[in-house]
């Protein structure tokens, strides 16, 4: 049976890759992006989940889409669950790697070494320049605090944050989240 083979492989020290997605983080309070009535992408998939929509109106994109579906206290404050910790513990004992489609950074909040993790869809709290000719378009990530861009006295902690679009420190182009959008290819981040 497959589970017994997996156990044998892990115990023998074989290289094993785990692929994780929304199901793992649901126990941490992260809403799945598809397949449920409350799924985030079911509400915004074709209209907002693209780089093209961002370029059309960055301020609206941040304030009408991203800050209401991703970068919000409930997700930023989520804690890794037993599944995340189990994979981190296994990584200390044998040769496992984790590939995740999740952008929630929960694997990184465990003892899992960053070099044992591939975040193929990007990471929450990281940002990239939209200007493809800028080195920050393909850099590891631009670090910034969205509260520094708040307007009208809003703030992340109050879950009412509205921002003016952040700009790249190198080229002054608009900055967007370090995530893979539906009209992008994997190499675009």
Q: Is 84 a catalytic residue?
A: no
Q: Environment class of residue 76 by beta-carbon count within 10 Å: exposed (0-12), middle (13-18) or buried (19+)?
A: middle
Identified catalytic residue from 121, 133, 167, 189: 121
**Ordered per-residue pLDDT tens for the chain, 189 residues:** 889 999 999 999 999 999 999 899 999 988 776 666 666 556 666 678 899 999 999 999 999 999 988 898 988 999 999 999 999 999 999 989 999 999 999 999 999 999 999 999 999 999 999 999 999 998 778 999 999 999 999 999 999 999 999 999 999 999 999 999 888 887 654
- Do 82 and 27 form a contact (C-beta atoms < 8 A)? yes
Q: Could you tell me the pTM of the whole model?
A: 0.86
Q: What pLDDT is attached to residue 38? A: 61
Full DSSP string of 5-62: HHHHHHHHT--EEEEE-HHHHHTTTPPPSSSSTT-HHHHHHHHHSSHHHHHH-HHHII
Q: In the beta sheet, which residues pair with residue 176?
A: 128
């Amino acid at each position: 049976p497959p589970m017994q083979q997996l156990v044998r492989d892990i115990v023998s020290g074989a290289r094993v890759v785990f692929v994780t997605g929304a199901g793992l983080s649901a126990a941490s309070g992260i809403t799945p992006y598809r397949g449920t009535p409350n799924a985030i992408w079911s509400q915004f998939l074709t209209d907002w989940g693209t780089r093209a929509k961002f370029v059309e109106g960055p301020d609206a994109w941040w304030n009408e889409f991203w800050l209401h579906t991703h970068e919000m206290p409930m997700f930023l404050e989520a804690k890794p669950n037993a599944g995340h910790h189990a994979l981190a513990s296994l990584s200390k004992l044998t040769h496992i790697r984790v590939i995740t489609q999740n952008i929630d950074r929960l694997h990184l909040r465990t003892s899992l070494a960053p070099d044992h993790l591939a975040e193929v869809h990007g990471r929450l709290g990281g940002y990239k320049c939209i200007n493809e000719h800028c080195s920050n378009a393909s850099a590891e990530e631009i670090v910034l605090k969205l509260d520094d861009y708040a307007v009208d006295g809003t703030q992340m902690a109050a879950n009412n944050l509205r921002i003016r679009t952040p700009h790249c420190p190198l080229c002054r182009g608009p900055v967007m989240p370090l995530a893979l959008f539906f009209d992008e290819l994997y190499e675009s981040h």
